[in-house]
A and B are shown apart, each in its own frame.
Chain A
């Protein structure tokens, strides 16, 4: 009864396939009959370019423009209007600006708060990036070892923090690091502390270092692990034959082979830490002294959206971009070399 067609004897799966094929041919024939429009591909690409222009390109260009002005309030002057009789739409200026030339950039040289934010950011960077890369590399090497079981599980677990919800992550971190939190309790058991993780100028920075490291180590580990798995096994064998022990193989084979990947990790982590914003905000909400934890981006945010000094904030933004670019170029020059084979 069920199964095959009584009249033709063909099994249903074959008939279904025949129907699918017939449909495909029909569709193909229809497609071929349609007129070919020149440049039709660009129509399909258009949504991306529109969104890119509105939300990325325009703001980037507008901040350059803004950085030479002082923001006086939202615009109200009508530039021109669209009047169709039944429909009237006045197009107004975006903002009310006063041209100040390079004065925003001059001010930055003597701005104590900016210098302080810069110092905090660099301080966090100098501890956080090397610490994270070292841990990530160590974990990657450990996971790459042939004797490790359940590699996939470890990998996922370690990479999980990047997908954690920021609010949940912040809440848990604040709870853990509180004066009477779990971390201090654990330290208390071995006779250390309690450490004022949030309220001390000294420790609050390390709280940020710890939080950022926890969040991003797994991500970098995965990249390094992929790099490690690309190192040709024969190089290790050649080194083994040449008399290299485990450490020498790491030093003379793994590290040089991993250099392009390490460079990528170092550059992206440096940029990431320069852009640090959420963690310092959370830590200052939890009571950390602003003078110790305020980062550049946090300062830009305050300048732009609390004080509404949009012109100055734009200038700060461009200086940050210049610093980060210069640093990245330096890293690529220093680490890249000419033989990132």
Chain B
């Protein structure tokens, strides 16, 4: 067990045509001992590169990586005592499950073959793959391969777990199951874990803390609630949350925001927009509250029933808005919908920098108990 400390990590890739490409820039990140940290971001944001630098599969251009008080920056992957689960599992196709699981122990532990056998049996039992030990990877389903890959990682009792989109090749149902199982496993073993995904739902569901990356730089690190409710900038607000936050540009006139197609909002507290001519306004889909009178007007286009709630897509001029509404509310296409938004739920961002001017709450860390009292009703 160890903390992972990344200091000013920078990674450039040499490219013959374009000179060098900066994949990761100036990333500072600490993963606490036993913590489950999820690195999330769109594809090409540098999250996998960061993970591979931690694994030792990529050399760093500059910066340092420490596991506990051990500087591993210049160590090779095999000397770092990390275990990694790859997106496509990377099981050895010519070895059966038993050999796949035991391979790492055979190479780097001083264990006898009887000892390895015992450990393999233990781990296989723990993951429920005991009856697969004699099979080759190609005879296994995706979910089973996933378990073997996981077993190969935990069997070595590593200091650090690294996971590169391990669930993305599974179907939706299995993914949700494995998500829970992975969390339980991590909790049980207490191994410091860095987990990469592009799926923000997965990030929210699994991480103790989430690190959001974009364009090679770290945008924000925080608990799922903090990242959701108090994003540091428009990118994080837009990336986290499903369906995505509604965003529009509005002119500021004192405390009044005027947007396209007649959007208007009167702020009670105008201090966040003081000194700004224009701002970006963000409204979470669950914060759009249909009302009978007053409010802004939009035209309903599509209703997607989810069972427990409905997703309502509506237009305000060229602007498309998404709202999560009660499941008994079903506006017909073309019908006019009036809606209001609580000021407490409004997000405001700087037009030029994207930096947050106002978010749901000013606190960055919200306790779970505290959180349940608010939330979109």
Contacts and interface: CB of A to CB of B under 8 A. Distances in A.
Interface in A23-75: none
A234 to B, nearest CB: 4
Interface string A324-341: 000000000000000101
Contacts of B56: 240
A248 B107 contact: yes
A283 B180 CA distance: 73
Contacts of A237: 57, 77, 84, 86, 90
B107 A244 contact: yes
A248 B103 CA distance: 11
A248 to B, nearest CB: 6
B93 A240 contact: no
Given A240-B77, A241-B78, A234 B103 contact: no
Contacts of B76: 240
Q: How large is the interface on B (under 10, 10 to 19, 20 to 34, 35 or more residues)?
A: 20 to 34
B55 A241 contact: yes
A242 B94 contact: no
Contact of B78 (A244, A256, A257, A341): A244
Contacts of B90: 232, 234-235, 237-238
Contacts of B77: 237, 240-241
A341 B84 contact: no
Interface string A235-259: 1011111111100100011001101
A242 B116 CA distance: 14
Given A234-B88, A235-B90, A237-B90, A339 B136 contact: yes
A237 to B, nearest CB: 5
A232 B77 CA distance: 18
Q: How large is the interface on A (under 10, 10 to 19, 20 to 34, 35 or more residues)?
A: 20 to 34
Contacts of A239: 92, 103
B138 interface: yes
Nearest to B109: A243
B136 A242 contact: no
Contact of B107 (A232, A234, A235, A242): A242
Given A237-B86, A237-B90, A238-B92, A341 B138 contact: yes
A341 B57 contact: no
Given A243-B107, A339-B136, A235 B92 contact: yes
A260 to B, nearest CB: 11
A234 B77 CA distance: 13
B82 A253 contact: no
Interface in B65-92: 76-78, 82-84, 86, 88, 90-92
Contacts of B107: 242-244, 248
Q: Which 6 A-B pairs have the closest CB atoms?
A: A243-B108, A341-B93, A242-B104, A256-B94, A234-B90, A238-B90
Given A244-B107, A253-B92, A341-B93, 6 more contacts: A237-B84, A238-B90, A241-B83, A243-B78, A245-B78, A339-B94
